[in-house]
Amino acid sequence: RITTGKYFVQNGNTVLPFSIEANHAIMDGYHMGLFFQQFESESK
């Protein structure tokens, strides 16, 4: 499950809080790390 919050501007940057909830039997922290890296690079 991916949940997003309301975006806001902080110190001149637009911030979008979000979280991921996943079953550890399907994915682990490594896969979430890959997702966050890709998400961050795509949103710049």
pLDDT confidence of residue 28: 86
- Say how far apart CA 14 and CA 9 lie, in whole Å: 4
- Say how far apart CA 31 and CA 38 lie, in whole Å: 11
Please state the domain extents for the chain.
Answer: 2-42
> Is 19 within 8 Å of 3 (Cβ atoms)?
yes
What's the predicted TM-score (pTM) here?
0.64
One-letter amino acid for residue 34 of the chain: L
pLDDT confidence of residue 25: 85
Q: For 1-44, how does the pLDDT look when each residue is reduced to its tens digit (9 = 90+)?
A: 999 999 999 999 999 998 999 988 888 889 899 999 999 999 87
Q: How many CA atoms lie within 13 A of 42 on its CB side?
A: 6
- Say how far apart CA 27 and CA 13 lie, in whole Å: 31
